[in-house]
Amino acid sequence: MGLDMNQCKKFILFYITIVFCLGLFACKGENGDNEIIAKVGNVNLSREEMRARMEWEGMRPEQESEFIDRWINRELLSQEAKRLGLDKSESAELLMELGMVEKEYLIQKLLDKTYAQSIQITEEEIQSYYDKNIDLFCVNEDQVRVMHILTETKEEADLALQEIRAGKPFDQVARERSIGILRERGGDMGFIRREDVINQVERVAFGTKEGGVSAVFESDYGFHIVKVIKKLSAGEAKDLADVRSEILQQLQVRKERSVYYDLLFRLQNSTEVQINVPKDVQESRDSVDVSIVP
């Protein structure tokens, strides 16, 4: 029996609906989870991978642009590390065997190598930084730089003091006889304020003249000896020697940041980078620093 007109219309409508749905499904497979969001060299980032990694890292959907930038930077750096053969070392192979994150290891190897080759800090730079930023090294209240020895018994403290008075360096005696966390530093406490230490140490440290060594004194923690290296009144600046390591660290961080950005800029201009994101996400990317450190 043939189909009447209404049945034909229903059949045609059903057929069109099925074809349309299949088309949507096919489009999702091509442009949905498997859609390529970004490409660096021959490495692709799919939407599915991006979503999975963002979820694992606890990132929100609105942070897509930030994730894409970080992914691009990490790929640029890790691919450069491989190009330089940094993935051939025994350490990298060991990391792979242990299931550790090779990419982060390679990036750090590359950065360490680049920094070592590119960064030098001269004494002139350290002095210049100190002179230009002298206000940063002025103290707001009285401070003293102290070396400290702590022993469990008075007998041990008396022996330590005898050695110091006989000419043995204070830091050497501290390493040999002191207890506590300062032992490995030769007893160097650095600059302290009154509120930084217990009352007994505060009284003796601030009451001892510069360059002087105290007598043995007792607290609930044991028996103490202090040597006052330097005294500063409020408004005075610390000497360059006292802040040299701090300045060195600041200059190192500043130069590392500059070298990192220069490296990324070079790699971005020498490597094929493609980004395929909606216009609103791209506009969001444009407002984000693309040199986010991995």
Give the pLDDT confidence score for residue 33 in this predicted structure. 63
Q: Do 225 and 160 meet the contact criterion of CB atoms below 8 Å apart?
A: yes
Angle between helices 102-118 and 240-270 (to 10 degrees): 120
Give the pLDDT confidence score for residue 16 in this predicted structure. 34
Distances (CA, A) of 163 to 133, 172, 189, 219: 40, 10, 20, 22
Q: Do 64 and 282 meet the contact criterion of CB atoms below 8 Å apart?
A: no
Give the pLDDT confidence score for residue 102 in this predicted structure. 77
Q: Where are the alpha helices (DSSP H) in the chain?
A: 5-31, 47-56, 64-83, 90-98, 102-118, 123-132, 154-165, 170-177, 199-207, 240-270, 279-286
Strand partners of residue 45: 38
Which fold would CATH assign to domain 139-232?
Chitinase A; domain 3 (3.10.50)
Q: Do 79 and 103 meet the contact criterion of CB atoms below 8 Å apart?
A: no
Element (H, E) at 226: strand 222-232
The sign of the CA dihedral 31, 37, 38, 42 is negative
Long-range CB pairs of 267-271 (<8 Å, 24+ gap) are 267/76, 267/77, 267/80, 268/76, 271/40, 271/41, 271/76, 271/79
Burial of residue 78 (number of CB atoms within 10 Å: 0-12, 13-18, 19+):
buried
Q: Do 44 and 276 meet the contact criterion of CB atoms below 8 Å apart?
A: no
Long-range CB pairs of 177-184 (<8 Å, 24+ gap) are 177/149, 177/151, 178/148, 178/149, 178/150, 178/151, 179/150, 179/151, 179/152, 179/222, 180/150, 182/148, 182/150
Q: What does residue 6 show for φ and ψ, rounded to 5 degrees?
A: -65, -40
Element (H, E) at 144: strand 143-151
Query: Which CATH class, in words, describes the domain spanning 34-136+242-294?
Result: mainly alpha
| Whole-prediction pTM | 0.70
Going residue by residue through the chain (294 aa), what tens digit of pLDDT does each one get? 444 444 444 433 333 333 333 333 333 444 556 799 999 999 999 999 999 999 999 999 999 999 999 999 999 999 999 999 987 765 656 665 655 577 888 899 999 999 999 999 999 999 999 999 999 999 999 999 999 999 999 999 999 999 999 999 999 999 999 998 999 999 999 999 999 999 999 999 999 999 999 999 999 999 999 999 999 999 999 999 999 999 999 999 999 999 999 999 999 999 999 998 665 555 555 544 444 444
Could you state, in order of their start, the residue ranges of all structural domains in the chain? 34-136+242-294, 139-232
The sign of the CA dihedral 146, 149, 150, 154 is negative
Q: What's the CA gap between 174 and 225, in Å, rounded?
A: 10
